[in-house]
Amino acid sequence: MKNLRTLALGAIVTFLPIAVMAQVNSPTETTPEAKFRWQFSPYTYHFTPDGQHKNVVMVGVEREHADAKLDGVTLFTNSFGQPTLYFYPWGRVYKPISGMEQISFKWTAGVLYGYKDPYEDKVPLNYGGLSPALIPAIAFEFKSGWTAQLNLLGTAAMMFQLSTPII
């Protein structure tokens, strides 16, 4: 767990300056600023429980651009207790859904790193711990800025997530 915390802190510290620099170097007179969010997931529900499954805990940072594009990075312990990184340079948010302002649909796409021997076959197209990922999600803003989100993790699980803006 200590290694995961170190990896998480390192990734967040690395990602934030890059994101801030991108904002500083972009024209802001005509383009609204991007919004940064902290993400946290305390629980993942596995559709088919397995005695090898461990608790999944996730932390991350996500950026929503003015044009509704998403990118971000998350660090988590995967279902088998291995430290794992999900870097997603592609994504989009759609809101409101069916006229309901609090509900949005999201998708992100990127690369997972961390599913290693003996669990490398637990995610598709894994090579050396790297595998592509596509994660659809539905989100509900229950308090100004606070969002609860359900992430569908293929046919394996559903992750419950909370997020809030970075102040």
User: Residue 73 and residue 39: Cα distance in Å, rounded?
Assistant: 10
C-beta of residue 133 within 8 angstroms of C-beta of residue 144: no
- Residue-level pLDDT at 139: 97
Q: DSSP states of 2-63 as a string?
A: HHHHHHHHHHHHHHHHHHHHHHHTS--SSSPPPEEEEEEEEEEEESS--TT-----EEEEEE
Number of domains in the chain: 1
Interacting residues of 93 by C-beta distance below 8 A, sequence separation 6+: 64, 68, 70, 104, 105, 106, 139
- Residue-level pLDDT at 5: 53
- Residue-level pLDDT at 2: 54
User: Residue 146 and residue 59: Cα distance in Å, rounded?
Assistant: 15
C-beta of residue 96 within 8 angstroms of C-beta of residue 104: yes
- Residue-level pLDDT at 21: 40
User: Residue 153 and residue 123: Cα distance in Å, rounded?
Assistant: 10
State the residue for tokens 């069916």: 98
Q: Using 50 as the pLDDT threshold, list the residues of the chain that sit under it.
A: 6, 9-10, 13-14, 16-30
- What CATH number is attached to the domain comprising 66? 2.40.160
pTM of the model: 0.80
Query: Could you tell me the residue range of the domain that residue 31 belongs to?
Result: 2-165
**Eight-class DSSP state of 69:** B
- Residue-level pLDDT at 31: 53
